[in-house]
Amino acid sequence: MLSAQERAHIAQVWDLIAGHEALFGAELLRRLFTVYPSTKVYFRHLGDQPDEVQLLNHGQRMLQAVGVAVQYVDNLRAVLSPLADLHAQVLRVDPTNFPLVIQCFQVVLASHLQDEFTVEMQASWDKFLTGMAVVLTEKYR
């Protein structure tokens, strides 16, 4: 799925994110809810107006899952299988929402990392996150 150079870009960007998962994740959620308010329906447990602690906690969980996927990029299906089951069978998230999350995450990366987030890194992350989304939607029937 990914070339050696793309893997290097993904690892390099993750090294910049590591330790800041909660902050990046909370910003991702704020951006998602602002730009695509219809996505709030899948986060009812956060309430209509989630507070910062809720955003930080859920954002951290989301980005920790991304971190695990980065670590096991060669085995995404196995690593993401429990999340795929959860999103498809329990939460029943419409799979058309995954590209929206990807888009918002890419904006967060670009806004924080700026010049460190090169065009090549963005392309690598887009390919990687799209691969994650494909795996997450495989359990839908």
pLDDT of residue 46: 83
Structural domain range at position 18: 4-140
The domain total for the chain is 1
Could you give the CA distance from residue 118 to residue 105 in angstroms, rounded to a whole number?
15
Q: What is the CATH number of the domain that holds 66?
A: 1.10.490.10
Task: Tell which residue, 74, 71, 70, 47, has the closest CA to residue 58.
Answer: 47
CB 59 within 8 A of CB 21: yes
In contact, 113 and 13? CB cutoff 8 Å: yes
Separation CA 139–CA 141 (nearest Å): 6
pLDDT < 70: residue spans in the chain: none
How is residue 65 written in tokens?
A: 């899952």
Give the list of residues 6+ apart from residue 23 with CB closer than 8 angstroms, or none: 56, 59
